[in-house]
């Protein structure tokens, strides 16, 4: 196979680095596919035929977007896609073109676009009772509350229903302040927790910050990122793929974890009062670029928070509902039990809903004043949520996340070892990040214009990736959980072809 000279040098450097690692990635059966200049990878077949698009012309949609839709609601790609219909892991645009959706409506379509069981449940409930508000009793909210809380461990059995993840996190943080009587809150840098004034204060990604005064007593601490951070090595992560950084840890210990815990202790010693309200963290960072922490980090931090009188909040908005594969909830992969769990996105497969689950002890003080949510626990939302849980179990989607997610991680790790600009591949289940760099030695982020060219190429070949990371340097893969092994091969082929094109452009 004839690779360009620069690519051959890249492969040689990657293999040399692998030989230095204590725990190299197994490369049994590796085969790099080569495509001619104008050849595209072949998309897997799909027996679904979309309906004919009959709404406004594309140009009129663009005019309306510019004149009537808030400018803060940006679009992506040079020519934004006008999406018309969805089916399982596929999206169709207004011209009938098909795309493999690897971003799932920003990690929201959990069981597949337009799942017939969800459509049927919603249609039936719309015909029975669309809305009453939760000041009345209705069967769906109580049936769903029992089914959902049965999936949580221990005393996590009290649920508040909301309409989004921002609402859920905002409510959880207020609840922690009321219960503890304390004010200080801590989050990790790179974390995203919502768009309300309180959650934005704990969101630590600069592009989301409006530059105005938000909530007070909100603090961030160093993100324990074992690829880009100060410390990290080749044994740190709970993932089939480790970093290619050298690891100096002795068996049974993680120096990176200890160093990041020390940083958290420093935050406690310098930024907050003697008493703490809460610490909130995603089990794997979503917007931050699928960042994983060293094994054992969250467990030690939870202990430190509780010593200060604070509550531990697990933000499961992106990691929940089986997406990490090995467990139903992301926090379970860290061997911890939070005091409060928040969830949204995949909870409704695209239907706007969220939830906060906590204990009776924490919930009772919050009941001393009126808390009300007009649409929280809406009957239609609850039957949709119930159908999602049924589908995950009946179709074995959590196991699919584990099996297909591992395949995808290993496939993209091959490309990391092939291309100098692929710095890190990480994740668990179908919560995956591919961090792009100028080169592996410096780990400097790949410039935005180069990221966008690769992104556009992938779209043109029929694959939709997300993007994230504090520098926008990470491709995010969080597809509908029904994705197949054929889809993984296609996605990896497309990404390889896009990277090869990028190298060819850079050589000119």
Q: Are the beta carbons of 85 and 50 closer than 8 angstroms?
A: yes
Mode of pairing for the β-strands spanning 311-315 and 90-93:
unpaired
Q: Tokens 């603090």 map to which residue?
A: 219
Helix (H) or strand (E) holding 326: none
Helix (H) or strand (E) holding 105: helix 104-107
Q: What sign has the CA pseudo-torsion 264, 267, 272, 275? A: positive
Instruction: Return d(Cα 342, Cα 358) in angstroms, integer.
Output: 9
Name the residue among 134, 133, 135, 159 with its Cα closest to residue 148: 159
Tell me the domains of the chain and their CATH numbers: 5-101+397-444+458-506 (3.90.1150.10), 117-394 (3.40.640.10)
Give pLDDT tens digits along the chain (508 positions): 344 444 444 433 433 333 333 333 333 334 456 666 667 899 999 999 999 999 999 999 999 999 999 999 999 999 999 999 999 999 999 999 999 999 999 999 999 999 999 999 999 999 999 999 889 999 999 999 999 999 999 999 999 999 999 999 999 999 999 999 999 999 999 999 999 999 999 999 999 988 887 889 999 999 999 999 999 999 899 999 999 998 877 777 789 999 999 999 999 999 998 999 999 999 999 999 999 999 999 999 999 999 999 999 999 999 999 999 999 999 999 999 999 999 999 999 999 999 999 999 999 999 998 888 999 999 999 999 999 999 999 999 999 999 999 999 999 999 999 999 999 999 999 999 999 999 999 999 999 999 999 999 999 999 999 999 999 999 999 999 999 999 999 999 999 999 999 999 988 7
pTM of the model: 0.92
Instruction: Return d(Cα 254, Cα 486) in angstroms, integer.
Output: 37
Any bridge partners for residue 343, and if so which? 355
Mode of pairing for the β-strands spanning 185-188 and 218-221:
parallel
CB burial readout 313-343, b (16+ within 10 A) else e: bbbbbbbbbbbbbbbbbbbbbbebbbbbbbb
Q: Tokens 């889809």 map to which residue?
A: 487
* DSSP-assigned letters across all residues of 281-315: E-SS-TTTTS--PPTTHHHHHHHHHHHTT-EEEEE
């Amino acid at each position: 196979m004839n690779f360009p000279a620069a690519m051959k040098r890249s492969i040689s450097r990657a293999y040399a680095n692998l030989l230095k690692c204590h725990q190299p990635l197994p490369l049994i059966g590796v085969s790099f596919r080569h495509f001619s200049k104008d050849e595209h990878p072949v998309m897997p077949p799909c027996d679904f035929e979309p309906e004919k698009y009959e709404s406004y012309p594309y140009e009129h949609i663009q005019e309306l977007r510019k004149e009537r839709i808030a400018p803060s609601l940006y679009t992506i790609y040079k020519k934004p896609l006008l999406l018309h219909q969805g089916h399982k892991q596929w999206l169709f645009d207004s011209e009938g073109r098909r795309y493999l959706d690897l971003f799932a409506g920003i990690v929201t379509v959990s069981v597949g676009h337009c799942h017939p069981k969800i459509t049927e449940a919603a249609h039936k409930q719309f015909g029975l009772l669309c809305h009453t508000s939760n000041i009345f009793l209705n069967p769906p909210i109580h049936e769903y509350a029992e089914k959902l809380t049965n999936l949580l461990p221990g005393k996590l059995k009290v649920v508040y229903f909301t309409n989004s993840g921002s609402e859920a996190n905002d409510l959880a943080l207020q609840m922690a302040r009321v219960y503890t009587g304390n004010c200080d809150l801590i989050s990790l840098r790179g974390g995203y927790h919502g768009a309300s004034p309180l959650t934005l204060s704990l969101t630590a990604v600069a592009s989301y910050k409006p530059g105005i005064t938000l909530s007070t007593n909100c603090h961030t601490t160093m993100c324990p990122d074992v690829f880009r951070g100060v410390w990290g090595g080749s044994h740190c992560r709970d993932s089939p793929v480790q970093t290619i950084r050298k690891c100096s840890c002795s068996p049974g210990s993680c120096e990176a974890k200890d160093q990041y815990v020390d940083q958290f202790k420093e935050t406690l010693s310098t930024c907050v009062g003697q008493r703490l309200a809460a610490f909130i963290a995603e089990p794997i960072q979503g917007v931050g670029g699928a960042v994983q922490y060293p094994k054992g980090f969250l467990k030690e931090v939870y202990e430190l928070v509780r010593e200060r009188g604070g509550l531990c909040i697990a933000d499961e908005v992106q990691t929940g509902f089986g997406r990490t594969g090995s467990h139903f909830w992301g926090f379970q992969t860290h061997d911890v039990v939070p005091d409060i769990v928040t969830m949204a996105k995949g909870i409704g497969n695209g239907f706007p809903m969220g939830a906060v689950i906590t204990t009776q002890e924490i919930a009772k003080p919050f009941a001393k004043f009126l808390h009300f949510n007009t649409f929280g626990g809406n009957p239609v939302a609850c039957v949709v949520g119930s159908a999602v849980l049924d589908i995950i179990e009946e179709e074995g989607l959590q196991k699919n996340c584990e099996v297909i997610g591992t395949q995808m991680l290993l496939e993209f790790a091959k490309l990391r070892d092939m291309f100098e600009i692929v710095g890190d591949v990480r994740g668990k289940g179908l919560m995956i990040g591919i961090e792009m760099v100028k080169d592996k030695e410096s780990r400097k982020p790949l410039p935005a214009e180069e990221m966008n060219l690769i992104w556009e190429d992938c779209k043109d070949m029929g694959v939709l990736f997300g993007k994230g990371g504090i520098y926008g340097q990470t491709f995010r893969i969080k597809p509908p959980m029904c994705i197949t092994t054929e889809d993984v091969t296609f996605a990896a082929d497309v990404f390889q072809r896009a990277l090869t094109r990028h190298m060819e452009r850079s050589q000119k």
